[in-house]
Structures are given as structure tokens and as C-alpha cells.
Chain A
Amino acid sequence: MAALGSPVRTWRGLLRELRYLNAATGRHYRDTAAYRYLVKAFRAHRVTSEKLCRAQHELHFQAATYLCLLRSIREHVALHQEFHGKGERSVEESAGLVGLKLPQQPGGKGWEP
């Protein structure tokens, strides 16, 4: 059995991700279908947790997987927009990425118009 930590932690993490998702649309995250579904699932799991231990673990596993999905997508999009979303870089930018600088020629290189 995989160690998942506390379900409360997973729940808080999910709420956090839902807030991020709804930051742009301006709606409250409690108005979303995802929030309603998660509340329902987490409540049901609390009620029957003693009877169906296997199902409890399974539900928590799915919640943790979903949390990992939402968080990874958010981080991936942020990195994508910063590094890959704008197409090919100029020579100066590429050099800057690895901590280098292009040499400066006082008075130009001589062949510019």
C-alpha cells in the first residue's frame, strides 16, 4: 500500500488547486462541479470508512492522484510559458539561458548597413 499521508492534507491541496483554476474566471471555486463532486465523495468516504477500508484507501489514492495531476499541470504550464511558449529564442537570449553573454564590439562589426 502506498503511503499517502493524511486525507485532510490531500483535501486542502485539492481546494488550493481549485482556487488556482478559478482565479482567472473570477467565479468562486465552491460554484464548480468539481468542488461539489469532491465534497460528496469525501463525505461519503468518511461515513463508510470503517466498513470498507479498501475502498477508503482507493478513494484517497484517487484524490491524491487527481491532486498530483492538477498541481503538475499548473507547474508545467508555468514553465512552458516561461521557457517554451514563445517560439525560438534569439542568439542573445539563448546565450543568457546558460549564463553567457555575447561579446560587444565597440563601433559595430563593420558589415552592418
Chain B
Amino acid sequence: MWRTCLRLRDGGRRLLNRPRGGLIASEGRGPSPPTPARAYAPPAERKRFYQNVSITQGEGGFEINLDHRKLKTPQAKLFTVPSEALAVAVATEWDSQQDTIKPYTMHLTTLCNTSLDNPTQRDKGQLIRAALKFLDTDTVCYRVEEPETLVELQRNEWDPVIAWAERRYGVEISSSTSILGPSIPARTREALVSHLASYNMWALQGIEFVVTQLKSMVLTLGLIDLYLTVERAVLLSRLEEEYQMQKWGSIEWAHDYELRELRARTAAGALFVHLCSESTTVKHKLLQG
């Protein structure tokens, strides 16, 4: 009897080691399944394996502890962040996971991991070039020619932002209705490269993240320079979609879902840039005062 038990246990283990797809398919063939098996099931989420989350100040910055273990990055480096506010926000992300850990809700942790590990091995110049590449195909510089109401909407909403960016950085940014996009003068690019070079690596990782979310350098600059709120920047980035939604109706599982996700990612990126750049020193003065 013991032997059969052992054999069964072993067999069970082999079954567990099989690829997921196989397991799910075999469930469907079993006798009278209560619900029909789904062809695709999302990967199982990891359980919350810790109780308390705390912050300690180490040599390299602020560290996060899950119970008595130190948080590590995916490349097994020690997780340290330069600012206290960021550490508190990351700790809150870990503490707010309920039964399972949902990595897709932990944008600030993700951004810190990217900055610590730098998985793409890029240097500052490459990051700046990657972000500025979006200026050539900037959302707010591409205009439509019809319908008339959308043309007007784009002019009324996007032109003030472009005008603000031109004033703020003393550059020239034009818009275009051509498929080839606007022609951005080389001087504009140089001015923005030197402006972005004043940010540190962490902030640049955040800036690139925001640019890739909003698909716009101009809107990102507005967000980083406190000219646009997150809600406003996301609205301007999705202007045509909002226009079509007003005309044809909004679908909760597509439009609302994307809007919330884009807002969350953009807010995380903007907060990350603010907390990692020089503004933290201003805040320290403020706290001492």
C-alpha cells in the first residue's frame, strides 16, 4: 500500500512538471467538468509570502524589507532607492498587494528595478536619443485634415501646448498634416538634448517611460515641468480616441480599461521623475523649514 502511495505521489509530481497547457487541456477531458475549460488561462499569480513591509536606511539609500528579507531586483541586486518618498511609495505598493502579488499594478517598483538593473545596458546618451526619437513622430504634431470638428479640436487643444513648449525652451516645433510628419529643426533637437542631459539616469529612465506611454515628447515635457496634470496629458495624448468615443460610444472593457492603465503608468512615470530628480532637494529644504 505504501508503495502505491509513493508511486502515485511520484506520478502526481510528474504531472505537475508538465507544461501548463497540457494540464489545462486534460482538465477539459475529465469526467463532467463543472464549467467548460478555458482555452487560455492567465498565469497563476504568486501568493503574498510576507506579512510586514518596512523601510530601512542603508548606505546606498533606502531599502525595502519584506518581513526580515531584503527586497532584491530581478537580477538579484539589493533594492535601494535614492529618495525616502519613493521608498515609501514602493513599500506601499508591496503592502497593498492582497492575497496574490500583481506585478502589473506595481509600476514604481518596476521603474526602480529597471533603473537598478538597467537590463538594456544603455547609457545616458542612448536614453536621451531614444526619448527624443519620439519628437519626429510626436502625437501633438500630427494633424488630420478632416473631419472639420476634429481639426478644430486638435488646433484648440494641442496648439497651446506646443506654444508653451516653444516659449519654455526657446525652440521651434511645427505641426504637419503630411504623413511624413513635421520637420523639426536641428537646433530644437540640440536644445532639448542639452536640457535632458541635466537629468540623472533614474529620472531619464522615467522620462523615457512616460514618452513611450504618451507617444509624445511635448506632452512629457509639459508633465515634467508641472504645466500639465497627468489627467490632462493623458487626455491630450488620446484626443482622437476621445473624439471617436464621444461620437460612437465608449466601451468599458476597452476604452475605460486603457484609459486607467495609461493614467496609472503615466502618473507612475511622472512621480518617479519628480522624486528622482533635483526637486527632492527642494523638498528637503521644505521639510527642515
Contact = CB atoms under 8 A, between A and B. Distances in A.
23 contacts: A1-B227, A2-B228, A21-B95, A33-B54, A44-B287, A47-B289, A52-B282, A55-B283, A58-B226, A59-B283, A59-B286, A64-B229, A66-B267, A69-B108, A72-B260, A72-B263, A79-B252, A79-B257, A83-B257, A86-B41, A87-B41, A88-B38, A88-B40
B257 A69 contact: no
A64 to B, nearest CB: 6
A76 B232 contact: no
B181 to A, nearest CB: 27
Size range of the interface on A? Answer: 35 or more
A2 to B, nearest CB: 5
B145 interface: no
Interface string B83-100: 011001101100110110
Nearest to B230: A68
B267 to A, nearest CB: 4
Contact of A66 (B38, B89, B232, B279): B89
Contacts of A47: 289
Contacts of A25: 95, 98
Contacts of B85: 37, 41, 62
B282 to A, nearest CB: 5
B260 A79 contact: yes
B242 interface: no
A34 B89 contact: yes
Contacts of B92: 21, 32-34
Size range of the interface on B? Answer: 35 or more
Contacts of B285: 52, 55
B105 interface: yes
Interface string A8-25: 000000000000011011
Contacts of A83: 252-253, 257
B238 interface: no
B263 A85 contact: no
Given A37-B84, A59-B283, 11 more contacts: A2-B232, A24-B96, A33-B91, A44-B287, A58-B283, A68-B229, A73-B105, A83-B253, A84-B42, A84-B257, A88-B39
Nearest to A23: B98
A75 interface: yes
A14 to B, nearest CB: 11
B268 interface: yes
A87 B24 CA distance: 12
A10 to B, nearest CB: 11
Contacts of A84: 42, 253, 257
B226 A2 contact: yes
Given A58-B226, A84-B257, A33 B55 contact: yes
B217 interface: no
Contact of B286 (A55, A88, A89): A55
B264 interface: yes
A69 B253 contact: no
Given A58-B279, A65-B267, A72-B264, A80 B286 contact: no
Interface in B215-254: 226-232, 252-253
B286 A76 contact: no
Closest CB pairs A-B (n = 8):
A72-B264, A69-B267, A76-B260, A83-B253, A87-B41, A72-B263, A88-B40, A21-B96
A37 B287 contact: no
A61 B287 CA distance: 16
Interface string B140-168: 00000000000000000000000000000
